[in-house]
Amino acid sequence: MPASQDSHPLDDTLRDRHVIVALTGGIACYKSADLVSRLVQAGATVRVLMTDSATRFVAPLTFQSLSNAPVVTNVWDAQSNYGSPHIALARWCELMIIAPASADVIAKIAAGICEDVVCLVGAAIGTTKPILLAPAMNADMWGNPITQQNVATLKDTLGYQFVGPDSGWQACRTTGPGRMSEPEAIFNTAVELLNRKKSS
């Protein structure tokens, strides 16, 4: 009898790898459902974090169903871990993906502000593990010199990796750079980063 796909990942590329997918506010949150699904199907264990703004675009239940794990939306969500959940998650993961990464969260991380669970976990990881950002925002926001300065800070000071943004149609009914990269591109970059970490 052939093995059931219900009990095995469709692809063992990321078997036993621990990945955090963090969502911040933006219409591109819907794309992250596909990203989480791809990671899980590749064998990864995925934990999802969402800012309050992100939950206004997609319900946490969507990601709980896809990841088969509780979604952390608040720093006070200690769940079964009575310690500090952001520290525990930072130690547990091998890679953190922030997708979509809004202009707001990019600015907060660059400034060291830790007022939500996504920024807290990112700060706890620091430079010890790879963090991948997939920016998503209006073209004017992406082109803002302050945003570009913040991006440079994350790249040059913290060594964060970026995928995108792409150019195209945006929710504000304009076209230009700022669209979040497609889930396949983010997934492929994540695999590359995890393989690089494994071989180092």
| 3-state secondary structure labels for all residues of 17-31 | CEEEEEECCCCCHHH
d(CA 1, CA 158): 50
Q: Is the pLDDT of residue 7 over 90?
A: no
**What amino acid occupies position 1?**
M
Query: How far is C-alpha 139 from the geometric centre of its chain's CA atoms?
Result: 20
Between 176 and 109, whose confidence is greater? 109
Tokens read off for 162: 């970026």
What fold, for 18-199?
Rossmann fold (3.40.50)
The residue ranges of every structural domain in the chain are 18-199
Between 15 and 22, whose confidence is greater? 22
User: In this structure, are strands 95-101 and 131-135 parallel, antiparallel, or unpaired?
Assistant: parallel
> Can you give the pLDDT at residue 172?
61
Residues 150-176 have pLDDT tens digits of 999 999 999 999 998 977 666 666 775
- 56 three-class SS: coil
Q: How confident is the model at residue 83 (pLDDT cuts 50, 70, 90)?
A: low
User: Any idea which residues carry the catalytic annotation?
Assistant: 172
Tokens read off for 44: 């990864």
H/E element holding 50?
strand 45-50
- 4 three-class SS: coil
Rounded to two decimals, the pTM is: 0.87
Tokens read off for 129: 């593990």
Residue 172, burial from CB neighbour count under 10 angstroms (0-12, 13-18, 19+) = middle
Q: What mean pLDDT do residues 108-136 have?
A: 93
